[in-house]
Homo-oligomer: A and B are copies of this chain.
């Protein structure tokens, strides 16, 4: 058998490996899930999923202002990505930039009243989709294991 054929067979084997398939499943499920949420939020609340994630972070504690850097880390975005995201959200009246007391480089972002109102409507849409495609398909005792596993993966990623 010549080398080209060996390569070919090896490629076929590698492409069919269960690890490749399982990992693909994670990426695909997450992608599809995010797309569902995003289109639902855009249609019903005129907010993108990313904006919704910002609002989650901002509404977690009352009157909590969060620096753009912190947002970037939380959302796995670059700082310039956050700059532009906050630009759009500010334009839509969802958030407001305020200077950070004690650090004149930093910019804090806080939710407006309108932002909180939109967040509440969006949270209902979000809950509906999550319930339907994330909770309902799972056996009840698999749910806890799934989140535990995801937590372990996330930890491994953050630790390095």
Contact = CB atoms under 8 A, between A and B. Distances in A.
Interface residues of A, number: 71
A104 interface: no
Chain A contact residues: helix, strand, loop or mixed: helix
Interface string A72-89: 000010000000000000
Interface of A: 4, 7-12, 14-17, 19-20, 22-36, 53, 55-62, 76, 113, 116-117, 119-120, 123, 126-127, 130-138, 142-143, 145-158
Contacts of A22: 134, 147, 150
B134 A20 contact: no
Contacts of A26: 29-30, 33, 134, 150
